[in-house]
Homo-oligomer: A and B are copies of this chain.
Amino acid sequence: MTASREVHLAARPVGEPKRSDFELVEVELPDPGPGELLVRNAWMSVDPYMRGRMNDVKSYVPPFQIGSPLEGGAVGEVLASPDDRVPVGQQVMHMLGWREYALVPAEGARPIDTALAPAAAYLGVLGVTGFTAYVGLFEIAKLREGDVVFVSAAAGAVGSIAGQLAKIKGCRVIGSAGSAEKVDYLINVLGFDAAFNYRDGPVRDSLRRAAPDGIDVYFDNVGGEHLEAALECLRDFGRVAMCGAISLYNATELPPGPRNIPEVVRKRLMLRGFIITDHMQLMGDFVRDVGGWLQAGKIDYRETVVEGIERAPEALIGLFRGQNLGKMLVHIGDG
């Protein structure tokens, strides 16, 4: 038996999640059964898509259940492995975050190499968020050298990698973010060609100034006003990789869609949504390319760390308020 604390869904949020929608619960975990690992989680990932799973709607992942723990990416150390499929002491990445200790099916645990990068990087730049940037840019938007690329939420976990990958590929890159500090990071650390604070005025005006000749690719993490502005600024044959729409995840009623959707015909645009689990065949290429660029010092990544499992709910809430630079993580303990 192992005493653990985990975060359960207490109520389905209406609009922005609040603390009372979560409950910290003390549990006693049984010993791992055959094929199960006992993992002590060190870090857990906090991602916008989790908001969707808090609603009771069918989507590409099933909803969280009230009274049960939330789930999500996590890394930690294997403490017990009854049938030795994974060695005790191995660091693994798995999908049972939001808890201090997890009983993880061995086939759901991926060993990670902490000599190559710190464990937490496997939740971000070398994990789901980095892979999302990679798939969206190369497989969905079919990035070409010389493209002008616009990335929204560009100081976030996915956007900051997407923008840097486009820079590595010789593109002109424009980013939007929600604070002057983030804009400074995009320009002066990541080397974006232009960036703006979307709170400073209409996105279409800011984007027009940053890209007077238009854009070829829009990597959409935000939806809403950002998408409408991008449709206006896209050039003929432009492509939109639709990754997410964080501006809408807390909406209790969906706002009108882009009024200028007829631009899609006039400019022969292509809009395509994607989810990385459909593209796992690219994982090898991703690890080779992004792992290599990381080791070569060509990619900067940041983490915003919230300390303690009990503060995981506020980390998720903070994500929707733009309180993160780069990847939002919860540090649960020593893995």
- Residues of A bordering B, CB below 8 Å: 59-60, 223, 227-228, 236, 242-245, 248, 254-275, 278
Contacts and interface: CB of A to CB of B under 8 A. Distances in A.
Contact of A266 (B59, B256, B258): B59
Of A264, A265, A270, the most chain B CB neighbours within 10 A belong to A265
A265 B274 contact: yes
B259 A254 contact: yes
Nearest to A269: B273
A270 B240 CA distance: 10
Contact of A273 (B60, B223, B256, B266): B266
Contacts of A254: 259-260, 262
Q: What is the count of identical protomers in the complex?
A: 2
Given A256-B256, A257-B257, A267 B273 contact: yes
B266 A269 contact: no
A260 B260 contact: no
A232 to B, nearest CB: 12
Contacts of A273: 263-270
Given A248-B262, A257-B261, 6 more contacts: A59-B266, A60-B266, A257-B257, A257-B259, A264-B272, A268-B275
Contact of A256 (B223, B257, B262, B274): B257
B271 A278 contact: no
Contacts of A262: 223, 245, 248, 254
Nearest to A267: B273
A142 to B, nearest CB: 12
B265 A245 contact: yes
A272 B270 contact: yes
Given A243-B265, A265-B245, A259 B270 contact: no
Contacts of A271: 264, 269-272
Contacts of A244: 265
Given A265-B243, A265-B244, A258 B260 contact: no
16 contacts: A60-B236, A223-B261, A242-B265, A243-B265, A245-B261, A245-B265, A248-B262, A256-B256, A256-B259, A257-B257, A257-B259, A257-B261, A264-B272, A268-B272, A268-B273, A269-B271
A258 to B, nearest CB: 4
Contacts of A248: 262
A265 B241 CA distance: 9
Nearest to A272: B270
A188 to B, nearest CB: 31
A169 B94 CA distance: 44
Given A259-B256, A259-B257, A275 B265 contact: yes
A235 to B, nearest CB: 12
Contacts of A243: 265
A229 to B, nearest CB: 13
A251 to B, nearest CB: 9
Of A59, A227, A273, A278, the most chain B CB neighbours within 10 A belong to A273
A257 B260 CA distance: 7
Given A256-B259, A259-B254, A278 B272 contact: no
Of A255, A263, A271, A275, the most chain B CB neighbours within 10 A belong to A271
